[in-house]
Amino acid sequence: MQIAARHLDKITIFDISGDIDLATSPQLRKALLRELRELKMPRVVLNLGAVRYIDSSGVASLVEGLKASRDVGSRLILFGLNKTVREVLQLSKLVRIFEIYDNEEQSVAT
Partner 1 sequence: MLCVVRNALGELAAKLGFPEPDCRAVVLAVDEALTNIIRHAYLGDAERPIEASFRRIQVARDGKSAEALEILLEDRGVTVNQEKMCGRALEDVRPGGLGLHFIRESMDTVEFSRKWGRNQLRLVKFLHTNGPRKGS
**Footprint of partner 1 on this chain (CB under 8 A)?**
19, 21-23, 53, 55-57, 59-61, 63-64, 67, 84, 87-88, 91-94, 97
CB of 68 to partner 1, least distance (A): 11
Sign of the four-CA dihedral 15, 20, 25, 27? negative
CB of 82 to partner 1, least distance (A): 11
Among 44, 7, 9, smallest CA distance to 29 is for 44
Among 69, 70, 92, 71, smallest CA distance to 81 is for 92
- Return the number of the residue (49 or 108) whose C-beta is nearest partner 1: 49
CB of 109 to partner 1, least distance (A): 27
